[in-house]
Chain A
Amino acid sequence: MKKRLVISVAQMFSMLFISRLVVETTYSAVMSEGNSLWDHILSSFISFILVFILIIPIYYLFGMDESKDILDNSYELIGKSAHIISFIYVVYFMFTCVHTLALFKIFLSNVINPPISTEILLTLMVLSACYGAYKGVEGIARTSSIVLFFIVGAIIFMGISLYSEIDTVNFDPFLYEGNESMFGGVMFMISRSSCIPALALLLPMAKGDVRKGAVVWNAGVYLLIAAVIFLMTGAMGDFLQTQLFPVYAAASIAKIGTLEHLDALYLGIWTMGIFIKLALFLMLSGECAKKIVGEKIGRLFVLIFGAIVMLSGILLDKNAVSSGIFASPSLLLAMLFTGVVIPIICIVIKKSGMKGEGKKSEN
């Protein structure tokens, strides 16, 4: 089978970088149930290493045949029974979309509380994301490169503006209040690494050095997170512990010259990031659906999935985002199953199949 090289490695990791960033800039001591966000710098370093370990099965499977994604491999190994695998991925990607949308809803209702109906905003967001997903991976990838430029620029700008607000008194020694917060942070970061299962589908579409790309992507994400935590803690100190969205809170106190209230900047980049993430994961859901129902109808499923995500996002209680199925353990299990366990099963079956074939040819 010919490799479907439709996007570059840089574009693929731009999409994934944004997808990680929109979730990771919502880290807070409140959400991760820890006490000290400062300890999350350590969490980010641990997560950085863990992500490398967790992506090994996907990369190994990809290395066995670079033209096939996880679903192609599944269909090759178990035939039509692989519809179940496709369905599992559809559920996981939609689950991620609902989680992201719920996060957006909390942000709107708890932090901003705009005098606009959040339902209408969520509907507009999902409709736009459906349009993006319908346009395909190339469109999303190209958009994400541009959005990434804006996001990185805005973060650097906020960083420069917050730098003057840093007070060294706000920096406590690491693990001053125990290691609970650090582990909480690791759990929080890893469980929300929905990009790992996404990689399983995206890798065959990318042209270039995927290994080097992964290193840059992972290092970039966690360096940025560590830098943001450093800036926020230095600028806000204990005030940070009470904030649900500390990056937003930090942005609202940042100023450069006559420019005040850089929260507008945060609002802009975060909304764009959410859009990219929703579009990407809805597109991936559509790709999985194509495997089950065929190429032609599969594309329409993006709209159906969009409607489901939208309804779920609207109906979901705003407090549900960090509890129940959205609690870190549930998210972690789902991520591990789709991002690690399924690839390992595929590798094992494939290896045993190859051995069997080898024995047959020997006989």
Chain B
Amino acid sequence: MFKFLEKFREIYESQNKNGCVQGTDKKHFISQSLTETISLFKQKFGVSEDLTIRQMRILGLDSAIITIAGLVNKETLGNNFMNYIPTITDFEGTPIQKYEYLRDNIIPSCDIIQISTYEDAFYKAMSGFALLALDGCDRMIAIGVQGYSSRGVSEPSAEVVQRGSREGFVEPLRTNMTLIRRRMKNPTLKFETSQVGSISKTEICICYMEDKVSADILDKVKKRLENINLETVMAAGYIVPYLEEENDMSFFSSIGMTERPDTVCGKLAEGRIAIIVDGTPNVLIVPYLFTEYFQCMDDYIIRPYFASFTRFLRYLGFFLAILLPGVYVGVGTFNPELLPGQLLNKIALAVGTTPFSLMFETLLIHFFYELMREAGLRLPKPLGHAISIVGGLVIGDTAIRAGLVGAPTLMIVALTAISSYVIPNLYEPIAMLRFIFILVGGILGIWGVMILFAAVLINICAKTNYEVPFTAPISPFSMFGMRDVFVRAGWKILSMRDSTVQNMPGSHPKKPKGQI
């Protein structure tokens, strides 16, 4: 490992001599003078209280342990280094030889990295490493003693399952990597880390199965990640636009997001790439297909016939959530003859007693509903319940009694709201499209709704990401691919053939070695 680091350093130094600078940032090599190094740290961190520099003498050399308070585990630091200092016997040699002696014989930690630039030193210090600097050495040892407090592994709140694992991703990247590795004990599973965000220097990790992933897709993902020119990356959502196709104007995203390690592992086995962003429990999956929005972990655990039934409910829910209010307004306003007589009478009666048009009434209730949802989402839980009660009473009961809205309209809105929660990952496009469909239904009737639906359909169908059609395997169609779309076939059928994403119909990326 150290030979590799030495070689890396040599290459790096030779690049520097030739005037080559990696990236756009100029690197500053560590000075041999400890005083200079310490003063540089103090100068950079200024009044910042969290910089801790513990100066001491080791092997007759002035030395310092540099850490950032709160990011290191003091106990681990003690066990991995500090406790060994009194046991160090004298060693004769140059500072570099003493440095190597310490590195190779004294520090017991597995996680040590040699640092040769100040930029790396700052980054490692702020990532929870302890830096050991010796006077007369132009390099430092970074000892992995990270120990910042973080949320423990718990059930993901947004993707609850009835049966199956209760573990969800958390904020620290390394913990998330472990959660994946624990489920995929295979050396072909690779983790590659890099940084994004010129200021935040957020660590991200590309995760894939070497024998499953398409080399083309992997290259594209890496290139797109390299092109991220953000200053800060605080959540996975920040980098989503950079992973999508250029000029992507679709309502629907072809980048999946999950909090479940088991879901990620399933996707990795299908040739997808997962991107873990440090500091967020949401892991990105690329490429992601439209049909995957309707799949959930429970589907693969319960019996196929019931899983297929729930799939049907989700697809139905999607169409109801988007179209029902628009169709209701369009038909009720312009084509009431299309409704069965008795239903028409009830709607007409309700509309006749309310002061607003059907379109305005529906828009109004939807708007109130969205207001309540937003308020309930951001407030503490007890207050959220209060909002629900107030909203239910005010809108559900009082508004009808006061004759402001009709009961059929309220029922439609309620049904739509429930339907939209069947596919929570699609809530954003559903909510926006619903408003648009209501407007179009109210202005142009069922005709407008149908034309708009066709436009939305083409918007979804024309979408291709990483040369994989977003609507595969529905269109382009694959009979075998359909085994996990509208119905969920049994495991014997599901595992019959290779199901990597690059084998989807209409996909063009190159297949990995060994795949036909």
Complex formed: what's the CA distance from A125 to B447 in Å?
A: 9
A8 is contacted by which of B446, B452, B506 (Cβ under 8 Å)?
A: B506
* B59 contacts the other chain (CB 8 A): no
Whether B444 lies near A135 (C-beta < 8 A) is no
Complex formed: what's the CA distance from A214 to B67 in Å?
A: 73
Nearest CB in chain B: distance from A254 CB, A = 13
The number of inter-chain residue pairs (CB within 8 angstroms) is: 105
* B338 contacts the other chain (CB 8 A): yes
Give every chain B residue within 8 A of A279 (Cβ-Cβ). Answer: 458
* B193 contacts the other chain (CB 8 A): no
Complex formed: what's the CA distance from A132 to B464 in Å?
A: 15
* A26 contacts the other chain (CB 8 A): no
* B254 contacts the other chain (CB 8 A): no
Whether B446 lies near A264 (C-beta < 8 A) is yes
Which A residues, 101 to 139, have Cβ-Cβ distances below 8 Å to chain B?
108, 114-116, 120-121, 124-125, 128, 131-132, 135-136, 138-139
Complex formed: what's the CA distance from A330 to B448 in Å?
A: 32
Whether A114 lies near B447 (C-beta < 8 A) is yes
Complex formed: what's the CA distance from A37 to B179 in Å?
A: 69
B455 is contacted by which of A108, A131, A141, A267 (Cβ under 8 Å)?
A: A131
Give every chain A residue within 8 A of B334 (Cβ-Cβ). Answer: 114-116
Interface of chain A, helix or strand or loop or mixed? helix
Of the listed stretches A142-150, A155-163, A186-194, A315-323, chain B binds A142-150
Whether A258 lies near B335 (C-beta < 8 A) is no
* B331 contacts the other chain (CB 8 A): yes
Whether B458 lies near A267 (C-beta < 8 A) is no
Give every chain A residue within 8 A of B271 (Cβ-Cβ). Answer: none
Whether B457 lies near A138 (C-beta < 8 A) is no
Give every chain A residue within 8 A of B453 (Cβ-Cβ). Answer: 272
A267 is contacted by which of B446, B471, B476, B477 (Cβ under 8 Å)?
A: B446
Whether B451 lies near A271 (C-beta < 8 A) is yes
B475 is contacted by which of A120, A135, A143, A275 (Cβ under 8 Å)?
A: A143
Give every chain B residue within 8 A of A271 (Cβ-Cβ). Answer: 447, 450-451, 454
B446 is contacted by which of A142, A145, A268 (Cβ under 8 Å)?
A: A268
Give every chain A residue within 8 A of B340 (Cβ-Cβ). Answer: 258, 260
* B445 contacts the other chain (CB 8 A): yes
Give every chain A residue within 8 A of B445 (Cβ-Cβ). Answer: 114, 116
* A261 contacts the other chain (CB 8 A): yes
Nearest CB in chain A: distance from B473 CB, A = 11
A140 is contacted by which of B444, B458, B471, B476 (Cβ under 8 Å)?
A: B458
B451 is contacted by which of A11, A135, A275 (Cβ under 8 Å)?
A: A275
Whether B476 lies near A275 (C-beta < 8 A) is no
Complex formed: what's the CA distance from A120 to B448 in Å?
A: 9
Task: Please tell me the number of chain B residues within 8 Å of chain A, measured between CB atoms.
Answer: 32
Nearest CB in chain A: distance from B361 CB, A = 19
A267-306 toward B: CB 8 Å interface, digit per residue (1/0)? 1100110011001000000000000000000000000000
Give every chain A residue within 8 A of B474 (Cβ-Cβ). Answer: 145-146
Give every chain A residue within 8 A of B443 (Cβ-Cβ). Answer: 116, 120
B446-482 toward A: CB 8 Å interface, digit per residue (1/0)? 1110111111011101101000010100111100000
Nearest CB in chain A: distance from B100 CB, A = 59
Give every chain B residue within 8 A of A10 (Cβ-Cβ). Answer: 477
Nearest CB in chain A: distance from B122 CB, A = 47
Give every chain B residue within 8 A of A145 (Cβ-Cβ). Answer: 474-477
Known interface pairs A145-B476, A147-B457, A275-B454; A124-B462 also in contact (CB < 8 Å): no
Nearest CB in chain A: distance from B234 CB, A = 34
* A263 contacts the other chain (CB 8 A): yes
Interface of chain B, helix or strand or loop or mixed? helix
A61-101 toward B: CB 8 Å interface, digit per residue (1/0)? 00000000000000000000000000000000000000000
Interface centre among B334, B453, B475 (most CB of A within 10 A): B475
Nearest CB in chain B: distance from A189 CB, A = 25
Complex formed: what's the CA distance from A136 to B235 in Å?
A: 34
Which B residues, 330 to 370, have Cβ-Cβ distances below 8 Å to chain A?
331, 334-335, 337-338, 340
Known interface pairs A124-B448, A271-B447; A142-B455 also in contact (CB < 8 Å): no
Whether B458 lies near A116 (C-beta < 8 A) is no
Complex formed: what's the CA distance from A130 to B100 in Å?
A: 69
Complex formed: what's the CA distance from A145 to B224 in Å?
A: 32
Nearest CB in chain A: distance from B328 CB, A = 12
Nearest CB in chain B: distance from A119 CB, A = 11
Which B residues, 269 to 309, have Cβ-Cβ distances below 8 Å to chain A?
none
Which A residues, 146 to 197, have Cβ-Cβ distances below 8 Å to chain B?
146-147
Whether B454 lies near A128 (C-beta < 8 A) is yes
Whether A138 lies near B455 (C-beta < 8 A) is no
Known interface pairs A128-B454, A136-B462; A142-B475 also in contact (CB < 8 Å): yes
Give every chain A residue within 8 A of B447 (Cβ-Cβ). Answer: 108, 114, 116, 121, 267, 271
Known interface pairs A142-B461, A147-B457, A264-B331; A124-B451 also in contact (CB < 8 Å): yes
Give every chain A residue within 8 A of B455 (Cβ-Cβ). Answer: 128, 131-132, 275
Give every chain A residue within 8 A of B469 (Cβ-Cβ). Answer: 138, 142
Complex formed: what's the CA distance from A108 to B445 in Å?
A: 12
B461 is contacted by which of A146, A263, A272, A275 (Cβ under 8 Å)?
A: A146
Whether B337 lies near A139 (C-beta < 8 A) is no
Give every chain B residue within 8 A of A120 (Cβ-Cβ). Answer: 443-444
Which chain B residue shows the least CB distance to A136?
A: B462
Known interface pairs A124-B448, A272-B450; A143-B457 also in contact (CB < 8 Å): yes
Whether B457 lies near A146 (C-beta < 8 A) is yes
Give every chain B residue within 8 A of A116 (Cβ-Cβ). Answer: 334, 443-445, 447-448
B157-191 toward A: CB 8 Å interface, digit per residue (1/0)? 00000000000000000000000000000000000
Complex formed: what's the CA distance from A124 to B474 in Å?
A: 27
Whether A143 lies near B458 (C-beta < 8 A) is yes
Nearest CB in chain B: distance from A152 CB, A = 13
Give every chain B residue within 8 A of A268 (Cβ-Cβ). Answer: 446, 450
Which chain B residue shows the least CB distance to A133?
A: B458
B208-248 toward A: CB 8 Å interface, digit per residue (1/0)? 00000000000000000000000000000000000000000
Complex formed: what's the CA distance from A213 to B15 in Å?
A: 60
B471 is contacted by which of A124, A136, A142, A276 (Cβ under 8 Å)?
A: A142
Nearest CB in chain B: distance from A245 CB, A = 15
Q: Which 7 A-B pairs have the closest CB atoms?
A: A139-B462, A142-B461, A135-B462, A271-B450, A145-B475, A275-B454, A128-B455
22 contacts between A and B (CB under 8 A): A11-B476, A114-B447, A116-B443, A116-B447, A121-B444, A121-B447, A128-B455, A132-B454, A132-B455, A136-B462, A138-B469, A142-B506, A143-B475, A145-B476, A146-B471, A147-B454, A147-B457, A260-B340, A261-B338, A267-B447, A271-B447, A271-B454
Name B residues whose Cβ lies closer than 8 Å to a Cβ of A: 331, 334-335, 337-338, 340, 443-448, 450-455, 457-459, 461-462, 464, 469, 471, 474-477, 505-506
Q: Give me 15 other A-B pairs in contact (C-beta within 8 A), A121-B448, A125-B451, A132-B455 excluded.
A: A8-B506, A11-B475, A11-B476, A116-B443, A121-B451, A124-B444, A135-B458, A142-B462, A142-B476, A143-B454, A143-B475, A261-B338, A264-B338, A272-B453, A275-B451
